[in-house]
Amino acid sequence: MSPLMGRPTLEGNALVGRSLVLLLAVLLASAPFSILLAGSSWFVLTLTAAAPVIAGGLMLRHLVDRQVLVPLLQLVVVAVLLLVVETAHGLISVSEGPLAMITQQIAIFPGAVSELASGMAPVTLGSRGTVLVVALIALGTLVLDLVFLDLGWHTPTGLALMGSLLIPALQQPSGGAWWTVAGPLVAGTMILATRTVHADPAYIEGDRRPQAGPLPRPLRAAGAAAVSIVMVAALAMPVGLVLPQIAPTQVALDMDVINRWQNRDMPQLGPVMIDDDVSVRRSLLQQDDIEVLNYTTTATQPSYLRLRTLNTFDGETYRNDSEGEDQALGRSSFSDARGDGETLDPSSGDLIRSEFSVSSLGGDRLPVPDNIRAVDTSEPRVSRALSPQPSNGAIAVGRTSVPLTGLDYTVLSERNPASADELRTVDPTVFEQPLEAGYTSREEVPQIATDLATQVKEDAGAENAFDTAVAYQQYFRSSFAYSLTVNSPPGEDPLESFLSDRIGYCEQFASTFALMMTSQGYPTRVAIGFTAGDQQGDQWSVSSKNAHAWPEVWFGPEHGWVRFEPTPAAAANGVSTPGVTEANSATEEGQSTGGPSEEPTPEETTEEPTSEEGTTEDDPEDTTDAASSDGGGLVTDPQTVQRVEGGLFAGLTIGILLAAGGAAAVLLIRRHRVHLREERWSALARGGARGSAGGEGAGAQSGGFGGDAGALAVESHRRRAGELAWSELTGELTVRSRAIRLLGWTGAWGNPPQQLALDAALPPARALEDLLDQIAAGDTEVTPEHRETADRIASAYTAALYAAPLPEAEDPADAAPASPFAQEPARTTEDGGSATTATMAAAPLREDADRLIALIRNSR
C-alpha cells in the first residue's frame, strides 16, 4: 500500500507507463521556457534534470521495500546530478575532496541567482545559471513524481504542469509561439486522462470517486471534451478582443521589485538633478529615494511639476532645442510661463498659490506647476536670476552662487478650465504652428510608429486630436507593462523592441506617444520633472522616486500644451491620467485618461513613489535618450519593497499563528475529551463504591448474605458501565463520519475510508457483530479478542436496556453491623489505593471500550 494515501503500490507495466507519461508531460510543459532561455537549452536542461529523477524513482520503487524512502533517495539523486553538472562545467573538482565541493556551493548558487536576475529574456545561460535551472527543474519534477505516482493526485499535477504557462509572463508579456501554449495544455490533459485510462485496474479498485474508474459512456465524454476544447480555442481570441481591457494593477509588483536586493547599499549621490542632460531612467536606477522638496498648495489636486521640455526628435533621441527657450511659437498661449500675476481666463477662478521648500535639488531649473503666472523666492539673488521660459512653461535659474537646496519659493498658477468638448473642436489649423516653429515634423517619425498610430486611431474611431490622444493613452496603459530594467537586444532598434516586447519605462512611453501623435499631424513634446508627490497632512512631499517623463500635446494658444499620461499605473510613482478624460476611459479601473487638466484624482495622487527619480550627474551633451535602452539597473524603492516584504511577513506570520492556533485547538479539544472521559468513568467508579457499601449493609440486615447484596451492586455498576461504553462507541463513529466527510470535501482522501455505523434496528450484540464485519471487510484485521470484547459490552448494554430493574437497597443507616463476610476484601490498585468489587468491575468494560475504539480508528 502507498505509505501516504492507502493506495495499492504501482507495479510492473503500470508503474513504467505512468513514469513515462510523467516524463513526457514534464517535457511538454517546459515549452514556455523557450521564451526565457535561448536556443534549445530549455529542452536539453529539462531532459537532463527530469529524466534522472523519474528514472531513479522508477528503479527505487522496484528495489526499496519501504516506499516512503523513495522520495528521500530521489533527493540524493538530485544532489548527485548537480555535482555532475557542476563538474562538467568546471565549477568544482572532485579531486579537492567532499568538504571543498560543499563549500563551493556557497559561491555557485548566489552567483547563479544574480546571473538569472540580471539577464534579459531570452537568456543565454552561463555555467552557474545552468546549475540553478537544473536544480529547480529537478526539484519540481521530484515533487510532481511524488504527488502523481505515490499520492495519485491527478488534478494538482495536471494544473501544476498547465501553470507553466504563467512563468514567462513575468519576463515576457508578449508571449511566444502557439506550441508554447499547446505543450502545457497537452501535458495537463495527459495527466488528467490517466485517472480513467489506466493499465492496472487494481490501482483504482475500491476508489469510490466517479473520476477514478472507467467512464460509463467514454465516447460521449470524449466528444464533449473535444467540443469544449474546440469552443475555447475558437472563441478565446474573438471574445478576448471584444471584452474591455482591464487597467494595470495599481501595485508596482514586477521583476524590478523582486530583484531589488542588488545594489542595495549604493552610496548617496548628492542633490537630485532631473534634467534633459541625463536619462531619467539612469537617474532612477542610481539614486536612493530621498525627498527633493515639499510644498503646500491651495489646489485640491496639484499638477505635475515641470522642469523642462524636449521638443525635437533626431531619429534616436528627443532633445531640447535651444530655440525653445524663447517663445518658439511667436505668440502667447494659455500654458506659457508668465510673471504678471494675472489670470488669462476669468472662468478658471482665482490663482493657485503653491509654496515650495527645496530639500535636495541640483541643476538650473525649479520644479513648477502648469500655467505659471508669477514666481518669487526667499533669496533675492535667486529671484533676480530667475528667467521664465514662456513656451517651455518652465523657470530657469541663471548663474548664482546660491544653491537651490534650502531655497523657499512661491508660485502662482492658473487652472486650465478647458473641457473635453472644447479640445475636440479646436481649429485644425493651429496644429501647424509648432511644426512651423521647428518642432518634430511628421516626416521625421519612424515608419513603425506611424503604422501603429494609424492602426490604433482607426480601431478607436478617433477623428480629432483629443480622441486620438485618449486612444493612444488607453492603448499604452492597458496593453503594456512597466519596468526600468528592460533592455533592447544588441543591434535592435529600441523603438521596435519597445513596441514588440510591450514593456518599458516612462521615457519610452512618453517619446513613443509623442511620435505617434506627431505622425498624425498633432504636435507633441516630452516634458520631464516630477509627479505631484505624496500628500502628508497639509503638505505634499516630492521624492526622487517621483521623477517622471510625460507627453504634452499642442491644442493652440487658447488651451496651450495639454498633458497626457501613457505610462501604466504599475510605475506607482504618482502617475495619473488628467481628470478631463474620465468619461473617455471607463475601462481603466480607478483611472481617468487624457485631457488638459493637470490635476490628478485623489486616489492617483496618493500612489506610493516607487519608480522614477533624479540624479546629480552632469552631461555636457544636451540630450535625453528617451527612446533608447540604457544599461541595466534595478529599482531600489524601499517603500514598495517594504510594503511587499511587510505583506509577505504579515501573511507568513498570520499563517503560522493560524496553524499554531489550529494545532493548539486540536490538542485542547483532545485533552478536553480525554478529561471528560476520565470524569465519566471516575464518576461511575465512585457511584459503584457507594452502591457496594449500601448493599453490604442490607445484606447483613437480611441474614448476613452479603455476597448477594454485593452481587446486586456489581450488576448495577456493570449495566451503567455498559451504557457508558456504548455511548463512547457511537460517539467515536460519529466523529469518524464527520472527518471522512470533511476530508472528502478537501480531496485529501485517495481511496476514502469506508463508512462505519451501528445499526440501531439490531439488538446490541448483533449490531456490534455487524460493525466488526464491516471493519473486517476492509483492510483491518478483526481478531477473536475483539469479538469477545464486543460480546462483553453488548451483554452489559443489553442488560441495561432489557433486563428487569434491580431492587433498591435499604438505607445504610438502618443496617445492622456488617458481617465479616458481607464485604469482599478490598484489592490494592497499582497506585497503592484500594478498590471494591464494584469498582473493579468497571475496569474490564473500560478496557473493552478502549480496544474497540482503537479498532475503529485504525480501520480503512
- How far out from the chain centre does Cα 360 lie? 37
Q: What order of strands is seen across the sheet that includes strand 312-313?
A: 312-313, 318-319, 623-624
**pTM score above 0.85:** no
HSE, CB side, 13 Å, CA atoms: give it for residue 96: 11
Residue-level pLDDT at 514: 92
- How far out from the chain centre does Cα 541 lie? 30
* Angle made by CA atoms 668, 674, 680, in degrees to the nearest 5: 135
State the Cα–Cα distance between residues 382 and 401, nearest whole angstrom. Answer: 9
The answer to whether 54 and 23 have CB atoms below 8 angstroms apart is yes
Which are the contacts of 395, defined by CB distance < 8 A and separation ≥ 6? 337, 365, 366, 368, 372, 375, 386, 387, 388, 389
Residue-level pLDDT at 650: 64
What letter does residue 548 receive in the DSSP assignment? Answer: E
Q: Answer whether residue 255 shows pLDDT above 50.
A: no
* Angle made by CA atoms 248, 592, 465, in degrees to the nearest 5: 110
**3 state SS of 372:** strand
Which are the contacts of 312, defined by CB distance < 8 A and separation ≥ 6? 318, 319, 320, 321, 438, 439, 440
**3 state SS of 2:** coil
| Highest mean pLDDT out of 71-80, 495-504, 685-694, 821-830 | 71-80
- Which residue would you say has higher pLDDT here, 637 or 848? 848
Identify the weakest region by mean pLDDT among 293-297, 548-552, 611-615: 611-615
Residue-level pLDDT at 710: 72
Burial letters 155-165, b for 16+ CB under 10 A, else e: eebbebbbebb
Cis amide leading into 122 (omega within 30): yes
The stretch 661-674 carries a mean pLDDT of 75
Q: Answer whether residue 607 shows pLDDT above 90.
A: no
Helix axis angle for 494-501 and 447-460, nearest 10°, is 30
- The burial of 614, by beta-carbon neighbours within 10 Å (0-12 exposed, 13-18 middle, 19 or more buried), is given as buried
Q: Answer whether residue 576 shows pLDDT above 60.
A: yes
Length of the chain as a residue count: 860
The stretch 741-753 carries a mean pLDDT of 59
| Highest mean pLDDT out of 136-150, 247-261, 565-579 | 136-150
Residue-level pLDDT at 239: 80
The 10s digit of each residue's pLDDT in 648-667 is 566 666 767 776 777 777 77
The answer to whether 561 and 525 have CB atoms below 8 angstroms apart is yes
Residue-level pLDDT at 757: 86
The 10s digit of each residue's pLDDT in 443-452 is 888 999 999 9
Scan for cell 489505593, then name that residue.
833
The answer to whether 402 and 379 have CB atoms below 8 angstroms apart is yes
pLDDT-derived band at 762 (thresholds 50, 70, 90) equals confident
Scan for cell 505543450, then name that residue.
183
Written as nine digits, the cell of 814 is 438502618
- Which residue would you say has higher pLDDT here, 569 or 280? 569
Helix axis angle for 447-460 and 506-519, nearest 10°, is 80
**3 state SS of 144:** helix
Written as nine digits, the cell of 138 is 529537478
State the Cα–Cα distance between residues 114 and 254, nearest whole angstrom. Answer: 16
- Which residue would you say has higher pLDDT here, 711 or 264? 711
pLDDT-derived band at 36 (thresholds 50, 70, 90) equals confident
* Angle made by CA atoms 178, 183, 187, in degrees to the nearest 5: 155
Helices (H) then strands (E): counts for the chain: 25, 20
Which are the contacts of 462, defined by CB distance < 8 A and separation ≥ 6? 468, 470, 471
What letter does residue 393 receive in the DSSP assignment? Answer: T
Q: Answer whether residue 410 shows pLDDT above 90.
A: yes
> Which among 528, 524, 529 is positioned nearest to 561, based on CA atoms?
524
The answer to whether 274 and 283 have CB atoms below 8 angstroms apart is yes
The stretch 176-184 carries a mean pLDDT of 83
DSSP-assigned states of every residue in 488-533: PPTTS-HHHHHHHHTEE-HHHHHHHHHHHHHHTT--EEEEEEE---
pLDDT-derived band at 336 (thresholds 50, 70, 90) equals confident
Q: Answer whether residue 284 shows pLDDT above 60.
A: no
Residue-level pLDDT at 120: 61
Written as nine digits, the cell of 11 is 507495479
The answer to whether 354 and 410 have CB atoms below 8 angstroms apart is yes
Q: Answer whether residue 637 shows pLDDT above 90.
A: no
Scan for cell 513613443, then name that residue.
512
What radius of gyration do the chain's Cα atoms show? 40
The 10s digit of each residue's pLDDT in 451-469 is 999 999 999 999 999 999 9
Identify the weakest region by mean pLDDT among 70-79, 333-342, 595-604: 595-604
Burial letters 525-542, b for 16+ CB under 10 A, else e: bbbbbbbbbbeeeeebbb
Written as nine digits, the cell of 638 is 524601499
Residue-level pLDDT at 244: 64
Parallel, antiparallel or unpaired: strands 503-504 and 481-482 = parallel
Residue-level pLDDT at 457: 93
Residue-level pLDDT at 212: 55
pLDDT-derived band at 208 (thresholds 50, 70, 90) equals low
Q: What is the mean pLDDT of the chain?
A: 74
Q: Which residues pair with 372 in a beta bridge?
A: 413
The stretch 304-314 carries a mean pLDDT of 86
Identify the weakest region by mean pLDDT among 86-100, 758-772, 802-816: 802-816
Residue-level pLDDT at 645: 53
Residue-level pLDDT at 406: 86
Burial letters 271-292, b for 16+ CB under 10 A, else e: bbbbbbbbbbbbbbbbbbbbbb
> Which among 796, 806, 804, 802 is positioned nearest to 841, based on CA atoms?
796
State the Cα–Cα distance between residues 416 and 370, nearest whole angstrom. Answer: 9
DSSP-assigned states of every residue in 811-860: PGGGPPPPPTTTSPPPEE-TTS-EE-HHHHHHHHHHHHHHHHHHHHHH--
